[in-house]
Homo-oligomer: A and B are copies of this chain.
Amino acid sequence: MSKYQVDLNADLGEGAGYDDELIPMLTSANIACGFHAGNPHMMREAVKHCVEHEVHIGAHPSFPDPWGFGRREMQCTCDEVIDYMLYQIGSLAAFCQAEGVKLYHVKPHGSIYNMAWRDMDLAKAIVEGIKRFDKNLILFAQPNSYLAKAGVEAGLKVVYEVFADRAYNNDGSLTSRKEKNSVLHDPEKVLERTIKMVLEGKVITYENEELELKAGTICLHGDNPAAIMLAQSIRQGLIENDVEIVAP
């Protein structure tokens, strides 16, 4: 067992067409539940695919916004958010149950995930939905987020998710994609950051300061061929640096 361990996760079952390439690299997969992408057939396929490759399955719940891919802010009540968590987690758990595997984690998708970085009421509602379904589910949340805080306070196991190719602000939030250089494309720099996050638990921010940032799981993207190559390079680099890639 290595001194350093990290989980590699990616979003599956969204119809992007690169699931086959991504899956062998992963230890955890977040499967869309039909609200931003996916449908019962794609969920079955994605679950089976994960089972074959022994990838841990998590739910990837979203606001109900298929036309906006779950990326638009919606003002929902806490009760509505709890309903959406239950409905989506329950539907995916059924496919896991049918295949005889466990549902391990929940990683909210898109704007519900981003809004819960800064909105404690929303964060608590998300956590409440997860907990009412199963208090043993793991929550993936960004370090420094209200979502992580709400999860910890509620007694959930929280795994901190970091993004290898995104710039961070000093407060630990992601630098907006609208800002110049907020997304990194140079595979070497991306790998260097990733290694630093995993080995030192630190990142150099967009404003050039050093920030503590625990990395429990790294999000790999797979919506285009370049992303697949970047993911491979990250995975390879971690292994070469003696980091064990393992589900939480």
Interface residues of A (CB under 8 A from B): 15, 17, 34, 39-41, 43-44, 64-68, 72-76, 79-80, 82-84, 86-95, 97-98, 111, 129, 132-134
**Interface SS of chain A:** helix
In Å, the complex CA distance between A90 and B90 comes to 5
Please tell me which one of the listed residues B65, B75, B95, B132 contacts residue A97 in the complex, with CB atoms under 8 A apart: B132
| Alpha-carbon gap, A88 to B84, bound state (A) | 14
Q: 3 closest pairs, A vs B, by CB? A: A90-B94, A40-B83, A98-B132
Residues of chain B within 8 A (CB-CB) of A40 are: 67, 80, 83-84, 86-87
Query: If the complex has contacts A86-B94, A86-B98, are A80 and B133 also in contact, measured as CB distance less than 8 A?
Result: no
Among B67, B80, B90, B95, the residue within 8 A (CB) of A64 is B67
Distance (Å) between the CB of A33 and the closest chain B CB? 9
Q: B41 near A83 (CB under 8 angstroms)?
A: yes
CA distance A29 to B94 in the complex (A): 21
Given A41-B83, A86-B40, residue A94 in contact with residue B97 (CB < 8 A): no
24 contacts between A and B (CB under 8 A): A39-B67, A40-B84, A40-B87, A41-B79, A41-B80, A41-B83, A43-B83, A43-B87, A44-B86, A73-B74, A73-B75, A75-B111, A86-B91, A86-B97, A87-B94, A88-B91, A89-B94, A90-B90, A90-B91, A90-B92, A90-B94, A91-B94, A93-B94, A98-B133
